[in-house]
A and B are shown apart, each in its own frame.
Chain A
Amino acid sequence: MIKALIIDDEEDCIEGLQNLLVHGYENFVEVLGSAKTVRDGIEAIAVLRPDLVFLDVQIGEKTGFDLLRALPEIDFEIIFTTAFEKFALKAIKFSALDYLLKPIDVDELDIALMKLLNEKSRKNTADKIDLLLQNTQKSDGLFKKIIVPTISGFEFIEIGNIIRCESDSNYTTIYIKDNQKMVVAKTLKDFEDLLSNYSFFRIHNSHLINLTYIRSYNKGKGGSVILTDGTEIEVSSRRKDDFITRLSALKFS
């Protein structure tokens, strides 16, 4: 039985989630209570000691991140709930934490709870939160690190150290500086979405590269690039124009 706490500044959201949990999850989840402000939330966590907190991102003037910052330690699981905070959502994704979009869809709640029940290594949560809090303190929105799920657990990667990502159906191989590489259970498209604001560009159906690691570009139909680690990768002819635009934009920035 998971003991859960709901923190949200809107009564409707609390009630809605409570309703979903009471009807269908009553054998897995026990709702201990709810809190509507960051202050009450901190108190409720100390008193009720929940296993799981459903944490709203925007709580009145403050945020769920503020709440987490105020806690001495985090010994519970977190599922963030949010309606449409783009920046926050990105930070949550970068830390490989779970989230639900409001209004909450039953199927998605299902997946999140099942994942929680099955997940073996919960000890990463504190690390993930650490990164989340670091990242959300940056004002430019460009995060330095990302957490990715690997076969053995989770890995922290410095984004600037990623040279390229290569797709292998539902997995992605990440090539990192100093000849390291790791296989991640995410699609290349996931990485493309996460990293497109950085200096990454998808030059090919199966290649996403960090433009700062390009050593040279050979002209051709699409042409090809040679990266600093010596690998040569073909540029898809359909991506050539966009690629050159991105590359020249990078030079001047």
Chain B
Amino acid sequence: MGKIILALLFNLTTAFCNAQYSHDADSVFHLLKTNHVIDSNRVKNLLVFSYLISDTKPDTAMICADEAIRLAAQINWQMGIALAYRQKGYVYYALTDNVNAMDYFLKALKAGEKLNNNFLNASIYNNIANIYADLKNYPVALDYYQKYLAASISVKSQVNEIRALSNIGNVYIDLNNFSKGLPYYNRALTIANETGNKQISAFIYNNLGEAFLKQKDYSLAKDNYLKSLKLADESMNIDAKVNSLNGLGKIYSSQQQYTKAEAYSKLSLHFAKQLNDVSSQANGYETLYNIYKKKKQFQNALWAYTNEKTLKDSVINDSKTAEITGFEMQYQFNKKEDSIKIADYRKQARSAGIIKQDKIVKNSIVAGSLIVLFSTLAVFVFYKRKRDAVEKKHESELKTQAMDTEMKALRAQMNPHFIFNSLNSIKNYIDKNDTAKASLYTSKFAKLMRMILENSERKEIPIAQDLRALELYMQLEALRMHNKFIYEIKVDDAIDQENTLIPPLILQPFVENSIWHGISQRECDGKIWISIRKEGNMINCIVEDNGIGIPEQANDEQNALADKKSLGMKITKSRIDVINRMKKSNATVTCSNLDEGTKIEVRLPEALAF
């Protein structure tokens, strides 16, 4: 459940010289149609029009932004160019195309910084920060929000100051750092209350409510949600109302007051439907599902669950897109670092170990083919995901199918993660001009990709088949690390490898972790042991390494980075959860530190094909 990021882009008029621009799309369009004089007014009108229709007609909005860029350049109006870039970025953002959005925001920033207009800069900082926050890259997001805050204060824009404070609060709460987050909310609230901006106050009370709910402090959460509800009603802020009603539903559900809980959730759902807000509707159904489950009204629970899943399916693509573009962006940034210097990003990326090489791509032909390869693969993954959509027919089948869908989504998530890591290695070879290795690596990678695409279409595959893919993966990584590690695979004789099934790629994330966070950090050579053992009616899959072990986590910011690294681990854990629900089994993942290295055990119920 997302907190409300105050992403309202900017107050258009503040950036312009006068404030006579209409906020009604039809009348702006009329102006554009009737007046053909090419001047700054036309550019402004194009931008206002584009902004107003960004969500409803993104295609047209894009055309208008492009036209504005062209005209602003034609009349050599620098401010106009910066504004137009920002608007184009915003349209991309509305389309959840974060890569291009970021690209244009940075262009706008570059153009804007020359002009020294802090109003403009402030809004762009916020936009950039929002993207980083979406991508869960919190340290960089914080950095940009702080810049946003400073710029807002410098131009004495209280609305922007409130947004900055509130968004910073959101990041800290997302990081579970309540002691840092709450003061920001409170500062935002103080200003909002002083200025009498009830709309925004309602949002902030909501965020506070959610923060307390997260801490399981129900009485404070309830206070804040009630305050939000009151202000939302007074200011006709239905978005905030939907959120606070749902929050209250969750609180009452946690306190076992199910009648009240159900009433609030249904009310929230009612308004969410009015707003046609799919994600809020899904949240409403989720709360209802939990209430019915606790009340043991399974028929109703199933109904809510199905609705939630159906609605989530339509929004889940967005969040996955965001995740994928996260990797995409790393590439795009590598590519562009020559033209646009983003010192912050690079510093952060280097510490995260994302960019191992600072060299610029020298061989542009090879780089070109790399991009083609990458985009083909990306298309493939999208295509596959689309195909994975499941039609649901009978109620009795719904439950399993919903879990099936969840499982498929999880499997599909594995692919992008893996693809981009491998592409990075190929890129490294190209950077080092080692064409022979780049070629060898590419063909091996292609072979592995075929296996993965084929395997991940299935729920379970024979151990032998999965181990072949895993071994090829380890060979690739060994090649990439100049044989810094060796591996050993052992399977109990009691296990019929062709007839025993395991979920595809279940061990891969752990092996990846062993290699990149265990062994690569070590001075001397490493070893990975993979053993598959039969223990009663369970199959125990063990990954051991002699790496540096799991480090103690130091602070929140590093936690966020660690979280990002262990995305694969998280997905695996969710997959195991789904398996347990589907099979009513007791599969487990355990992770322990050895004297030297780490040991991961994945215990799965034995499944035979025949």
Which residues of A does B touch, CB under 8 Å?
A: 12, 16, 19, 101-106, 189, 202, 204-205, 236, 238-239
Contacts and interface: CB of A to CB of B under 8 A. Distances in A.
Contact of A189 (B369, B444, B447, B498): B498
A105 B447 contact: yes
Contact of A238 (B439, B440, B498, B608): B608
Nearest to A236: B610
Nearest to A103: B443
Given A204-B610, A238-B609, A239-B610, A16 B447 contact: no
A93 B610 CA distance: 26
Contacts of B440: 106
Contacts, number: 29
A224 B275 CA distance: 58
Given A101-B450, A102-B446, A105-B443, 9 more contacts: A19-B439, A103-B443, A104-B443, A105-B444, A105-B446, A105-B447, A189-B498, A202-B610, A205-B609
Interface string B434-448: 000001101110110
11 contacts: A19-B439, A101-B450, A102-B446, A103-B442, A103-B443, A105-B444, A106-B440, A189-B498, A205-B610, A238-B609, A238-B610
A198 B447 CA distance: 27
Interface in B398-450: 439-440, 442-444, 446-447, 450
Main secondary structure of the interface of B (DSSP, over half): helix
A19 to B, nearest CB: 8
Nearest to B607: A238
A221 to B, nearest CB: 13
A112 B440 CA distance: 17
Contacts of B442: 103
Contact of A101 (B447, B498, B499, B609): B447
B478 to A, nearest CB: 15
A202 B444 CA distance: 32
A103 B608 contact: no
Contacts of B446: 101-103, 105
Nearest to A189: B498
Contacts of A16: 439
B516 to A, nearest CB: 25
A104 B443 CA distance: 6
A168 B79 CA distance: 78
Contacts of A236: 610
A105 B449 CA distance: 13
Interface residues of B, number: 14
Contacts of A204: 610
**Ranked 5 nearest A-B pairs via Cβ:** A205-B610, A236-B610, A105-B443, A103-B443, A103-B446
A16 B450 CA distance: 20
Contacts of B450: 101
A104 B450 CA distance: 13
A161 B552 CA distance: 66
Nearest to A207: B610
Nearest to B369: A12
Interface in B558-610: 608-610
A189 B499 CA distance: 11
Nearest to A202: B610
A2 B163 CA distance: 73
A205 to B, nearest CB: 4
A253 B439 CA distance: 48
Nearest to B444: A105
A19 B498 CA distance: 37
A204 B610 CA distance: 6
A106 B443 contact: yes
A106 B447 CA distance: 11
A97 B442 CA distance: 25
Contacts of B499: 205
Contacts of B608: 238
A16 B499 CA distance: 39
Nearest to A19: B439
B474 to A, nearest CB: 16
A53 B442 CA distance: 24
Contacts of B439: 16, 19, 103
Contacts of A205: 499, 609-610
A69 B499 CA distance: 42
Contacts of B443: 103-106
A204 B442 CA distance: 39
Contacts of B498: 189
A105 B472 CA distance: 13
A101 B446 CA distance: 9
A205 B498 CA distance: 9
Interface string B70-88: 0000000000000000000
Contacts of A106: 440, 443
Interface string B159-189: 0000000000000000000000000000000
Contacts of B444: 105
Nearest to A204: B610
A205 B497 CA distance: 12
Interface in B290-347: none
Nearest to B435: A19
A19 B440 CA distance: 12
B182 to A, nearest CB: 54
A203 to B, nearest CB: 8
B180 to A, nearest CB: 50
A249 to B, nearest CB: 16
Contacts of A202: 610
Nearest to A23: B436
A234 B499 CA distance: 17
Interface in B488-528: 498-499
A135 to B, nearest CB: 23
B479 to A, nearest CB: 13
Contacts of A19: 439
A224 to B, nearest CB: 14
Nearest to A102: B446
A106 B442 CA distance: 11
B436 to A, nearest CB: 9
Contacts of B369: 12
A92 to B, nearest CB: 16
Contacts of B447: 101, 105
B344 to A, nearest CB: 37
A49 B442 CA distance: 33
Contacts of A103: 439, 442-443, 446
Contacts of A12: 369
A84 to B, nearest CB: 8
Residue of B439, B440, B443, B447 with most partner-chain A CB within 10 A: B443
Contacts of A105: 443-444, 446-447
Contacts of B609: 205, 238
B553 to A, nearest CB: 41
A189 B462 CA distance: 11
A102 B499 CA distance: 30
A230 to B, nearest CB: 23
A205 B447 CA distance: 28
B99 to A, nearest CB: 26
B510 to A, nearest CB: 26
B55 to A, nearest CB: 38
Interface string B195-225: 0000000000000000000000000000000
Contacts of A239: 610
B459 to A, nearest CB: 13
B455 to A, nearest CB: 13
A102 B369 CA distance: 14
Nearest to B442: A103
A103 B440 CA distance: 10
Residue of B439, B440, B450 with most partner-chain A CB within 10 A: B439
